[in-house]
Each structure stands twice: as structure tokens, then as C-alpha cells.
């Protein structure tokens, strides 16, 4: 094929950062309150990507206890230098909202990464590394200008040398640039490059919403002064309007291929059913060239398209991943996540081989906690997801089933439970912390196993159940799914769908066993 489809990594995979090592490309994205943190992807053609795992996959690396929704891990950067991979990121703490920056290292991006090395006195978010030609490592992020903010959310980019041997910042801290356009707030996401004797500084401006953008400046010396590109912003979609199929474009990183082409990865969203972005901020790819010493993105057009010409690289496809996880191996696949750092032995793939067993925890998904939940991203506007569950509730407090999640206060729970009349299945909508039972049906079949299904066609989400395979009964159809968008719920994440169990504040020895889980675009 001579073209590719955007996004290259669909679903909630924001803030992409990329590096090339020979013929191989590696990419990481943000994860906020989800665990494991920072998925890492591998490609050889910039179009087809395979997830290698997660950078932060051990509890010793990432403590998300009590982390509010859309806090936690922000905007990682991946870089490679002299045989070592570096991933630096910001951790936004739960209690104070303080920003702390740390990095981890490895020689094998698919293997174990080190425990965090925290950089003291490194303010701001979206931290990044740059290795100069002499091997010196520099850190950059954003901060409030030392002279004070001239307008709300006015930020600047700072730079300081890093002593990698001792894991600390050294020398003076320099103010580099506070952006291309005044009053366009939230200067962030800095990445620095040395190209043709210039230091180029790419940042994001305008916030990560509709007015997001990519801007650039350059200097002959690393500490500046930095010259503003007169074509700034070099990429944005804010002028295309809210009806354009790709919106809030920004937060970019660039890479040169071995064929000499230049490409940019960035985040953007696909709204549908109005200006609603259930899928969150996704990873897109766009070409650029150099003209008069500055990047010219998608020459002749200047914006990202859904279908674009491929890079001049040999196509490299990876093995096709199964749409159905049968839970036949003793570990979870890379597409699954927990909410916050998993605490307690609530999830098992070995206690009943061939099943994912969730133990009922007292914690509920409505709390800022680590509930008994295993989920994956919604990656398509139209999709179908189904599972087989074996569960018998002992009382009305015990529930298990499927959740479509934006956050603890905005979600749908299709759960099996017990009431005074017997076994029931119900759909609960939680919006702004207020719960409504959308539908409830009595389960008359004398069976422990039930099949659950969710189908979404744009913003119409339909819910079904069955006591025998493929003999579906309607729970409720065409429920408005817009509460799964951050445009309603707030925050920075995309929608998840997953398996859930809870005893809602009570101690319980009960379990819910899921035989398989299937997710398909439709």
C-alpha cells in the first residue's frame, strides 16, 4: 500500500515521543493514573507498531496510590545515547498536585527498566532530555517565568545540564523561550534537536484542548537567544473548526528516517456525535520537510489527514493480535491495565487456569482507589466487546460485570448482582457522581455462566446478555455514551472498557471468573 491511515496508534495514547536506533523506531505515550505506566511501541516503518510492554511495570517504579483521575504520569520522552535508552517523565502527585520529574534507563527497551532516578529542583511538566554532540545531557521542562506570569497559564521553557552519573541537575538553569504567541497559554512539551548547526526547540502552546498547537524556535547556541519562526504555529487545527474530523493537534516530536525523510508524531483527537472525544487523545503521524531552515508540515496543505502517503521505508507488519483473549497464559497481555498501582492479590490467571479471576474487593470503582478492575482502551468509534462470566452474588452488595469507564464519576456499569427477588443484571449510569439505573432485568435461567456484550455505533451504546452463547437478550439499546468523553467528564484520558468486581464496602471471599474477553471494531 502507498498510503496509511491515521491515527497510527488509536485510542488513549497521548503525548507521543519517538526515537530511532538504526532501522528501529521506539515510541512512548502518557498513562496518567493507569498501571502499568508508559507503554512502549516498536516499528520499522513508522506505520505499523507493536507494543513491547511498559516502561513502568513494577510497583517499585510507580506508586499511584490515591492519585486522582488524570494525574500521575504526564508526557514521557524517550531518547537513546551510546547504547542506553532513557525515558524521562513527570509525576503529578495526588495530595498537593506537585510536579516531580524522574528518569529510568535500560539497554533493552523490551526488557526491564531501572527504578526511578528523581531529579531534585526540576520544576514543571513534560520533561525532556537532549544529548548534545559532545555527549552532555540536558533536561528541559516548563515553569512559571522567574519574573512572574504576564497572563494566566503563562509558562516558559527552562534548560539545565544533567549529571547522569549522580542523577542530578548541575550548573545554571536557563530560560529558553516562552512561546511564539502572547496570550496563547500553557507553553509546554519541549523537545530540543541539533540540526545543521542550529538548536531547534519544538514546544506545544494553547493547552491540550481545541487551541492546541506546535511551535518552533532556533538558536546557534543551546542557551539562546532563540529566534521565533515567523510561520508559527507550524502545525495546528484550531483554525479548521470543530467539525473537522481531526482536532486538538499538538505535542509533537520529530524523527529523521534512514531514508532522509522527516516525520512528526503528535497527539490529536477524532470527535464524533458532536464535539465529543470518547477515544481521548491519540497518536498521529505527519510528514514535513525543511524550507528556509524551518519545518514545513505536510507541504501544500499544512494539516494532518486521515489518509496520507506512506514513509519511504520497507513495509514491516507484525504478527496479528487475537481479538479475543482466552486468558490461557499466566500473565496479562500488554493491552490490559489496572486503575492505579495494584494492591492485594485480587487478580489471578492461575487459580483457575484458562480464566481471569477477579476477587471481590470492598473498594468500588466509584472511589479514588485501586478497584478490582482490569480494562483496555476503547480504540474505535464503532466496536463490539463481549465476555463470558461465571459469578454468583451472595447478596446485593456483591457485583461483577463490565464497565465502560471515563473516570470514577463518569461511567457505565453492566453488573450482575442479587436483590430480594433473585439474580438480576442491570445497567447503571454514573454521571457527575449521581447514579441512575438505566435498565434492570431478572435472570431466570438456572446457570452460573452469563455472556455480556456491548456494541457501540458512534455515541449509541447498546448492552446485551445471554445465558447461552449467542442467544442475546436486550438489556437496553442506544444509550447516549457522551459521558465517556472528557468534554463532559473533564480530565485528559480516553474511555476504557473492562471487567470489574466489588463487594461495595464489605469483606467477601467471593470471586468472578471471566473465561475470555473479545474486542472488535465494527
| Catalytic residue IDs | 15, 188
CA distance 179 to 233: 10
H or E segment to which residue 450 belongs: strand 449-457
Which residues, 6 or more positions from 508, have their beta carbon under 8 angstroms from its beta carbon? 359, 360, 362, 394, 397, 398
DSSP string of 238-276, one letter each residue: GGG-TTSSSEEEEEEEEEE-TTS-EEEEEEEE---SSS-
CA distance 451 to 463: 11
Query: Alpha-carbon dihedral of residues 241, 247, 251, 254, nearest 10 degrees?
Result: -100
Three-state SS string across 71-126, please? CEEEEEEEEEECCEEEEEEEEECCCCCCEEEEEEEECCCCCCCCCCEEECCCCCCC
Across-strand partners of 370? none
Across-strand partners of 37? 56
Query: Rg of the Cα trace of the chain?
Result: 24
Whether residue 501 contacts residue 372, with contact meaning beta carbons closer than 8 Å, is answered with: yes
DSSP string of 272-314, one letter each residue: -SSS--TT-SEEEEEEEEEETTEEEESTTT-S--SEEEPPSS-
H or E segment to which residue 487 belongs: helix 486-489
SS3 9: strand
The conformational region for residue 392 under phi > 0 = left, psi -120 to 50 = alpha, else beta, is beta
CA distance 273 to 245: 11
Phi and psi at residue 213, to the nearest 5°: -160, 165
H or E segment to which residue 427 belongs: strand 422-431
Across-strand partners of 436? 429
Amino acid at each position: 500500500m502507498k498510503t496509511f491511515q491515521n491515527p497510527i496508534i488509536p485510542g488513549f495514547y497521548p503525548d507521543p515521543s519517538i526515537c530511532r536506533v538504526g532501522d528501529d523506531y521506539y515510541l512512548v505515550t502518557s498513562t496518567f493514573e493507569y498501571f502499568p505506566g508508559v507503554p512502549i511501541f516498536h516499528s520499522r516503518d513508522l506505520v505499523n507498531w507493536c507494543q513491547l510492554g511498559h516502561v513502568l511495570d513494577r510497583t517499585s517504579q510507580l506508586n499511584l496510590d490515591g492519585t486522582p483521575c488524570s494525574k500521575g504520569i504526564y508526557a514521557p520522552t524517550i531518547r537513546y545515547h551510546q547504547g542506553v535508552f532513557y525515558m524521562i517523565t513527570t509525576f503529578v502527585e495526588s495530595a498537593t498536585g506537585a510536579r516531580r520529574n524522574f528518569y529510568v534507563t535500560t539497554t533493552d527497551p523490551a526488557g526491564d527498566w531501572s527504578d526511578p532516578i528523581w531529579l531534585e529542583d526540576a520544576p514543571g511538566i513534560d520533561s525532556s532530555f537532549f544529548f548534545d554532540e559532545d555527549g552532555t545531557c540536558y533536561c528541559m521542562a516548563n515553569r512559571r517565568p522567574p519574573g512572574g506570569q504576564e497572563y494566566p497559564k503563562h509558562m516558559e521553557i527552562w534548560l539545565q545540564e544533567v549529571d547522569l552519573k549522580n542523577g542530578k541537575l548541575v550548573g545554571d538553569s536557563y530560560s529558553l523561550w516562552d512561546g511564539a504567541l502572547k496570550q496563547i497559554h500553557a507553553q509546554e512539551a519541549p523537545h530540543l534537536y541539533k540540526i545543521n548547526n542550529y538548536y531547534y526547540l519544538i514546544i506545544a502552546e494553547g493547552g491540550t484542548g481545541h487551541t492546541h498547537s506546535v511551535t518552533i524556535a532556533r538558536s546557534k547556541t543551546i542557551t539562546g537567544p532563540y529566534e521565533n519562526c515567523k510561520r508559527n504555529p507550524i502545525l495546528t487545527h484550531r483554525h479548521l473548526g470543530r467539525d473537522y474530523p481531526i482536532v486538538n493537534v499538538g505535542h509533537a516530536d520529530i524523527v529523521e528516517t534512514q531514508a532522509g525523510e522527516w516525520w512528526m508524531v503528535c497527539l490529536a483527537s477524532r470527535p464524533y456525535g458532536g464535539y465529543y472525544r470518547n477515544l481521548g487523545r491519540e497518536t498521529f503521524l505527519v510528514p514535513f520537510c525543511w524550507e528556509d531552515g524551518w519545518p514545513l508540515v505536510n507541504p501544500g496543505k499544512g494539516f494532518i489527514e486521515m489518509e496520507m502517503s506512506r514513509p519511504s521505508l520497507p513495509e514491516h507488519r507484525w504478527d496479528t493480535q487475537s481479538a479475543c483473549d482466552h486468558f490461557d497464559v499466566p500473565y496479562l497481555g500488554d493491552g490490559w491495565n489496572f486503575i492505579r498501582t495494584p494492591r492485594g492479590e485480587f487478580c489471578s490467571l492461575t487459580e483457575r487456569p484458562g480464566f481471569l479471576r477477579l476477587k471481590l474487593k470492598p473498594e468500588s470503582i466509584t472511589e479514588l482507589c485501586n478497584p478490582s478492575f482490569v480494562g483496555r482502551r476503547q480504540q474505535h468509534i464503532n466496536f463490539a466487546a463481549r465476555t463470558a462470566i461465571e459469578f454468583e452474588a451472595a447478596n446485593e452488595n456483591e457485583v461483577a460485570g463490565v464497565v465502560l469507564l471515563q473516570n470514577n464519576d463518569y461511567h457505565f456499569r453492566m453488573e450482575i448482582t442479587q436483590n430480594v427477588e433473585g439474580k438480576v443484571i442491570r445497567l447503571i449510569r454514573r454521571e457527575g457522581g449521581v447514579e441512575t439505573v438505566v435498565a434492570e432485568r431478572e435472570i431466570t435461567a438456572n446457570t452460573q455462566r452469563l455472556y455480556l456484550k456491548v456494541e457501540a455505533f458512534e455515541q449509541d451504546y447498546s448492552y446485551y446478555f445471554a445465558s447461552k452463547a449467542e442467544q442475546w437478550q436486550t438489556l437496553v439499546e442506544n444509550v447516549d455514551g457522551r459521558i465517556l468523553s472528557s468534554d463532559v467528564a473533564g480530565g485528559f484520558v480516553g474511555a476504557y472498557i473492562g471487567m470489574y468486581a466489588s463487594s461495595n464496602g464489605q469483606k467477601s471471599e467471593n470471586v468472578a471468573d471471566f473465561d475470555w474477553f473479545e474486542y472488535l471494531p465494527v
